[in-house]
Structure 1
Amino acid sequence: MTDFYDRAAAREAEILSDALAAQQRRARNGLGAVSALACEDCGASIPEARRQAIHGVQRCVGCQTVQERLAR
């Protein structure tokens, strides 16, 4: 018979596995996306290094930071 801690550990592993699978799906979906040359929010140019590092990027670092904070 399993105890509380075993069930909690199994649930934690399940949640982690689901989160990793979702991240992989998002990464695969973004690989074919075209990165924007200019930020969709402020219009500033997005550096080439950022566009290559993050496929499908649409915002500059500053606007992306604001967007992520608002999403919390």
Structure 2
Amino acid sequence: MADACDIATDYTERELARHLEAQRARARLATAGEHSAMECVDCGEPIPKARRTALPGCQRCVPCAEIEESRSSLSASR
């Protein structure tokens, strides 16, 4: 049975992997110019072709874009 340290270590490893993949995605985008990302820079999930076509240069999937917009609007209102 896993104890609290094992659970925390597993969580940390998953989060680190997720952040590293997002960083790699951003690096790939830096060389791609204004083209839409194939994968979300935040979560790494594929961005559907319809979204990439409708919004050239998009970097985030819809859920992550909505989260970012919420954060931006909260910061602007302060």
TM-score by length of 1: 0.55
Indicate the residue corresponding to 2:58 in structure 1.
57
- Structure 1 distance, partners of 2:43, 2:34, is 20
Query: Per the alignment, in what secondary structure is the counterpart of residue 70 of structure 1?
Result: helix
What is the identity percentage for the equivalent residue pairs of Structure 1 and Structure 2?
49
Structure 1: 5+ residue stretches without partners: 1-31
Structure 2: 5+ residue stretches without partners: 1-32, 74-78
Indicate the residue corresponding to 1:25 in structure 2.
none
Indicate the residue corresponding to 2:46 in structure 1.
45
By how many angstroms is 1:33 displaced?
1.6
> Deviation digits for residues 12-42 of structure 1, max 9, x if unmatched?
xxxxxxxxxxxxxxxxxxxx82000000000
Which has the higher relative contact order, 1 or 2, with Cα contacts under 8 A spaced 6 or more apart? Answer: 1
Query: Per the alignment, in what secondary structure is the counterpart of residue 41 of structure 1?
Result: coil
Map 1:1-72 onto structure 2 (within 5 A).
33-72=34-73
C-alpha RMSD over aligned residues: 1.2
Indicate the residue corresponding to 2:4 in structure 1.
none
- Structure 2 distance, partners of 1:33, 1:47, is 17
**Which contiguous aligned blocks of 4+ residues in structure 1 show a shift greater than 4 angstroms?**
none
